[in-house]
Structure 1
Amino acid sequence: MAIRERRLSPAAADSTAGNAATLELDQTSTPPQLNVGGDWTLANYRSLQRQIAALRAPLAATARISFSRLSALDTAGAALLTDLIGAQRTLQLAQTEDGLPPASQSLLTTVAQALAQSPPTAPPVKHSWASDVLERIGAAMLNLRANIIALLGFTGLTLQTLAGSVLRPSRWRLTAVVAQIEQTGLDAVPIVALLTFMVGAVIAFLGATVLANFGASIYTVDLVAFSFLREFAVLLTAILMAGRTASAFTAQIGSMKANEEIDAIRALGLDPMTLLVLPRVLALLVAMPALTFIAMMSGMLGGAMVCALTLDISPTMFLTLLQQDVGIRHFILGIAKAPLFAFVIALIGCLEGFKVSGSAQSVGEHTTSSVVQSIFLVILIDALAALFYMEMGW
């Protein structure tokens, strides 16, 4: 036995849900009369919307409203009526219309009062791509300004705490400093040495390839020595520390902030700057120069290996050329930047940790921000230092 499915149109479906809602405007009478009839309920909502849209022109203020044919009314229908004839006029009709049941009068009054008190919906603001770009640039500038002010203030607070702890040995946290030196310095030796060794080998290989065209392959030794003593060793080490140590500082302090451990430290009458920030700053100030020295030695070792394999420059000859052509001042100029980089990396890592709001997402966002800010400032300071060295003739 075949079963046939019968589908109703939306208007027919609406009409089957109780009495159909009607909305007729009688233009023959003077003034025009709007006849409201049927069930103005949620079941007929779509049908009522189509009928209201079919009126096209707005209803005249002098038009009469007749509710004599209205059989049912709920909140949805009352809202449509209020939108059609206005909140103030709906209130007047609800109080003066005799044909409305008391329940419908009360419902119309309540809905009209609620819609009259609600603020008008503002039209959507049209944005152009130019205004969006300028808005994003402005927000980025304000964010940069706030970060600079916060970093400068945190730097002053750290220096103040450090100065106050120098003459008070009871505040020294030697165990915490030694533990941080192990984590930030000793544990980072393998990755720093391996990375700089490979970079030194690459630079020596590229230098030998290019300088061979000019018959100056012997100067590959000077290229490797100058680049690592002045720039590459300290810069690569700082970038590694920014990615490895600054993120660790932010995650550690941020997790303590999220778990309210920092609030507990303050409740015990202790200073988080003394307990959490100073050990990390001092540890990185000690570890960074040592790692930079290891990076210098590893980079030149990688260059010496490539020179011995491709240019037949023995290690003895490499050291002899290094001693003759490269002065100790290049080593001093390179190693002098290590404490400054260490101070900046430690400050940013700790500051971003204190900015964590308390959620895991905030910890991740500020950890990423600390790495980005640290690398940016390290490269910026290195560029400014290079310009300063050049102007001073160093």
Structure 2
Amino acid sequence: MMDRRTVLASSAAMVGLTACGGAMPAAAEPGRGWILNEGGKTIASSITGQSVIGTGPNFSLETPFRIASITKLVVAMALRDFAADDKIDLAAPVSYILPYTPDGLTLGHLLSHQSGLKDPEVYWADIQTDIRTLYNRESFTHAPGTYFRYTNLNYGLAATVVEARLGERFDRLVWNWLTRNGFDAGLNWSGVSPRRRKSAAALYRKNEAGNWAATVDLPTDIPLASPTYLRRDIARLDSYSIGKNGTLFSPQGGMRMSLSDLIKVGEILHQRPDFHKPVWTFDGKNGDDEDAHFLAFGSGSYVYDADISPISGVPLVGHLGWAYGAHTAMFIMPGTDITFAFARLGSGADDATMTGPENLGTRANQFTVHQALFDEVAPILRTLI
């Protein structure tokens, strides 16, 4: 499994997309594009590629796809709302649900990546595996609240705790929150309408021959009614014990949404000031910054002040995603009504390079694909501020 540190060993650079204020003709390539919105109005967008290469239809602002780690931000906002409704307590210890975890560990620590937990090589489990087999006391290298490390398993543990406390599968809990907020979306397609499933975009990587190969969500792989989940052939969802395995529906990265949906996520984020300020800021020793990629983090969000922002001089709050060949992002400019989202749903083997920590002082270290898309949106965003 490749993490950002492994990615840094790659050596080739990526050529950014050409900025465009409107739709482009579909090409025999994966979907890619961006949208910039102010106060509920689309200011500009750029879309190209196909949802499924070779068979169409064209990728669009309404095409659902796997949004990768932006999922974490959506999940964190949902859990904050559950807490506001007194359904869960983000500050309560979770060790009675998750044994072999440090004293004082809370949902808040998990959501802000301050649990002290280090990801195992595989941070998910299938339907017949208990999540508690994925970690032990030695997996927690620091006391809760004292150290930041971006850890996918944090969200699997959080989902397990919430399931146990509320007595319902996590995908259904999140789907209910999404539905109340006007989304036709879900974790691993859970609850998503058949109509939207049929319009899904696949994710791609280039194979050794230089051809696009689908990694996730070809039409033949998407059920029209049930969710997708990690399972063995003999296992059905009715065999799942609630509160046993919160990784089942990928709370760390399995949300399916469109670029237009991500703009709506941003509109909700504008109303969540607790996500706009960092709860952790790197001081040189209090976390794993992954070579200047993580410099500040909020309750479930990247927090960039003007000095470290990937759009220099412009503060941003939101989340990045990278998985299965997709590079995604959704950010707001706090204190304004500006929101933007972008996605590139295919990557070559050489598209995992980063801009380099030498940029520290002007911008946080980014994947070159992400930075190219930030740079494409930047000129239009600057006209609005």
**Larger Rg, first or second structure (1 or 2):** 1
RCO higher in structure (CA 8 A, sep ≥6): 2
Determine which structure has the larger helix proportion and give its number. Answer: 1
Q: TM-score, normalised by structure 1?
A: 0.21
Q: TM-score, normalised by structure 2?
A: 0.21
